Structure 1
Amino acid sequence: MLTIHAADELRYAWDDPDPVTDGAVAVDGDRVAATGSLADLQERFPGARVRRWPGVLGPGLVLEGPLPDAPTPRERVHSVLKRGVVAVPTEYLRTPEVRAAAERNGLIVLSAARPAAIVAGGRADLAVFDEDGACVATVCAGRLVHRRR
């Protein structure tokens, strides 16, 4: 099912100087189907489910540093998903258990750093942050993996 994720503002990259007000990203499976204003995407995809988030919608983050300590590998991975992270450099996945938990949750395992950006046709990795900088939602490979209640 196609889902449109919308927010007060859309940034294609976090340093984007020209954000889209009332912006949105249409997600089909694990891919970005289209981007633009919410009104335009609702017109283009009339049957899509719409998830409206408060704050700024942008690309999922790349982890900068090791995963936090937690009792289980699953909890270690979940702790970064709650921060909007969708990609982890391989150097921080030191055990097979942590790597398996990362892969099960759809995290991208990076051999080298890469810039985070939303691109039509690219993998749907998104994060939404409120005005205080707290992560409201994380979408990893098109799947909603975290939402603040």
Structure 2
Amino acid sequence: MRTLHAAPVVRYTLGEGGAVLHDGGVLVDGGRVAAIGPLDELRAAHPQARVRQWPGTLGPALVHDGPVPDAPTPRERIHALLRLGATAVLAEHVAEPGLRAAAERNEVAVFDDRPRPPALTEAVRADLAVFGADGACLATVLAGRLVHRRR
């Protein structure tokens, strides 16, 4: 099923000077980004898509560059990353076998070195995050699946 993630602000890239689209959306088909554009155009072109309207800013998910938060189990530690809006982590921070296995089971990307900044483009894995005005992560989408939503 196709899902259209919509927000008042969509960022194509993270960091200063990144491209921004107002009242935009990201169409996800399976685990990939199928289209990015103005919300009205995407709705007209894909009327059967399920729409998830998010407040805040929608953009690429983060790459976590630091120790993984503490929690009782490796699975809960990886879920803590998802709650931060991260769908990728540097390998040095998941060196412990149980933690690395939990990351792989949950399809969290593990990079050996610092990757280039995340960007939204068509055909890439649909790793998205929504952040509120206070900077808190409101939702995380990992490979097209909603894996975190702040209540």
TM-score tier after normalising by the smaller chain length: over 0.9
Distance 1:27 1:59 in 2: 13
Distance 1:113 1:28 in 2: 28
Q: Secondary structure at the match of 1:54?
A: coil
Q: 2:148 maps to which residue?
A: 146
Distance 1:7 1:60 in 2: 15
Distance 1:117 1:18 in 2: 10
Unaligned stretches of 5+ residues in structure 1:
none
Distance 1:5 1:21, change over 3 A: same
Q: 1:119 maps to which residue?
A: 121
Q: 2:89 maps to which residue?
A: 88
Q: Kindly, what percent of the aligned residue pairs are identical?
A: 56
Q: 1:42 maps to which residue?
A: 43
AA partner of residue 125 (structure 1) = D
Q: 1:134 maps to which residue?
A: 136
Distance 1:58 1:138 in 2: 10
Distance 1:4 1:104 in 2: 26
TM-score by structure 2 length?
Answer: 0.95
Shift >6 Å, 4+ stretches: none
Q: Secondary structure at the match of 2:146?
A: strand
Unaligned stretches of 5+ residues in structure 2:
none
Question: Does structure 1 retain, via aligned residues, the 8 Å contact 2:13–2:19?
Answer: no
Q: 2:5 maps to which residue?
A: 5
Deviates more, 1:126-135 or 1:96-105: 96-105
Q: Secondary structure at the match of 2:54?
A: strand
Report how far residue 17 of structure 1 moved. 4.1
Q: Secondary structure at the match of 1:120?
A: coil
Aligned length: 149
CA RMSD of aligned residues (A): 1.0
Q: 2:80 maps to which residue?
A: 79
Distance 1:48 1:32 in 2: 13
TM-score by structure 1 length?
Answer: 0.96
AA partner of residue 122 (structure 1) = V
Distance 2:101 2:37 in 1: 35
Q: Secondary structure at the match of 1:80?
A: helix
Deviates more, 1:25-34 or 1:15-24: 15-24
Question: Does structure 1 retain, via aligned residues, the 8 Å contact 2:12–2:18?
Answer: no
Distance 1:61 1:17 in 2: 14
